[in-house]
Amino acid sequence: MKKVILLLLVVFLGFWMFTDPQGLAATAREGGGGAWDGLVSVFEATIRFLGALF
């Protein structure tokens, strides 16, 4: 079952890459930026928590 889902994901991304490469690039860029912002938020919250604790 996992192999089928992985295969479908690869086929979908391949199709998307050939039909709309700029859209795929924009989506990847936005997703990466969102992940980075989330990671920064987690570290800032951890620093604030530890600062308030000690």
Confidence band of 54 (pLDDT split at 50, 70, 90): confident
- The mean pLDDT value for 1-17 works out to 92
d(CA 39, CA 27): 18
The residues spanned by each domain of the chain are: 21-54
pLDDT of residue 39: 94
Confidence band of 3 (pLDDT split at 50, 70, 90): very high
**Does the predicted model carry a pTM greater than 0.75?**
no
Encode pLDDT of 13-43 as tens digits. Answer: 899 889 999 988 998 889 888 899 999 999 9
